[in-house]
């Protein structure tokens, strides 16, 4: 039995890039930290919320790289300045990646009560009907 991939399906033309993006997303190494939610806030908008307690605005970076939303966090290591009797809260870095479809744009990012909210909107493509002229060969 032959495995039929999205890019090899006879009626799906030009979707090879989508298949590569799905593979890249699966291999991106997103672990379980930090936990996050994705909610649909309207028919054409979404909000990604990450639990980033302990991170300040200066510890976080949000970029869009090749249709991929990348959120990075890096805390300063202040262990030289403090003496811990118990250290259960790790100062670790993270990277979360989300593949964006064409037409999805990143809006504002808001930090609130240890939560980072990133708003996304999807532009509605206009319906285009194109008539193709048939030439005599």
Note the pLDDT tens digit of each residue in 4-22: 666 667 777 777 777 776 7
* 133 is a domain residue: no
Q: Does residue 35 share a domain with residue 13?
A: no
Q: Does residue 64 share a domain with residue 15?
A: no
Q: Does residue 47 share a domain with residue 25?
A: no
Q: Does residue 39 share a domain with residue 24?
A: no
Question: What is the layout of strands, in order, in the sheet containing 60-64?
Answer: 60-64, 68-73, 94-99
- Six token digits for residue 123: 């532009």
Q: Does residue 67 share a domain with residue 24?
A: no
What is the C-alpha end-to-end distance of the chain, expressed in Å? Answer: 40
- Six token digits for residue 57: 């605005």
Q: Does residue 70 share a domain with residue 14?
A: no
CATH number (domain holding residue 88): 2.60.40.790
The total domain count for the chain is 2
Q: What is the pLDDT, as a whole number, of residue 54?
A: 86
Q: What is the pLDDT, as a whole number, of residue 79?
A: 65
Q: pTM surpassing 0.85?
A: no
- Distance CA(27)–CA(95), nearest Å, equals 13
Q: What is the pLDDT, as a whole number, of residue 26?
A: 64
40 or 87, greater pLDDT: 40
Q: Does residue 16 share a domain with residue 57?
A: no
Minimum mean pLDDT range among 13-17, 46-50, 96-100, 120-124: 13-17
- Is residue 118 a contact partner of residue 48, using CB atoms and an 8 Å limit? yes
59-94 as b/e: b if 16+ CB within 10 A: ebeeeeeeeebebebebeeeeeeeeeeeeeeeeeeb
* 87 is a domain residue: yes
pLDDT averaged over every residue in the chain = 85
Q: Does residue 65 share a domain with residue 12?
A: no
Q: Evaluate the omega torsion of the peptide bond into residue 45 and state whether it is cis, within 30 degrees of 0.
A: no
Minimum mean pLDDT range among 66-75, 90-99, 115-124: 90-99
Q: Find the domain containing 7 and state its range.
A: 1-30
Q: What is the pLDDT, as a whole number, of residue 67?
A: 86
Average pLDDT value for residue range 62-91: 85
Q: Does residue 9 share a domain with residue 38?
A: no
Q: Does residue 26 share a domain with residue 53?
A: no
């Amino acid at each position: 039995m032959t495995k039929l991939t999205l890019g090899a399906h006879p009626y799906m033309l030009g979707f090879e890039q989508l298949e590569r993006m799905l593979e890249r997303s699966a291999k991106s190494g997103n672990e379980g930290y930090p936990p996050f939610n994705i909610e649909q806030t309207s028919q054409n908008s979404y909000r990604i919320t990450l639990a980033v307690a302990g991170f300040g605005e200066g510890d976080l970076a949000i970029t869009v790289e090749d249709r991929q939303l990348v959120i990075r966090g890096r805390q300063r290591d202040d262990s030289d300045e403090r003496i811990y009797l118990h250290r259960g809260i790790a100062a670790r870095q993270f990277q979360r990646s989300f593949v964006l479809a064409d037409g999805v744009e990143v809006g504002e990012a808001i930090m609130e009560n240890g939560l980072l909210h990133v708003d996304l909107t999807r532009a509605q493509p206009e319906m285009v009907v194109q008539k193709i002229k048939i030439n005599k060969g």
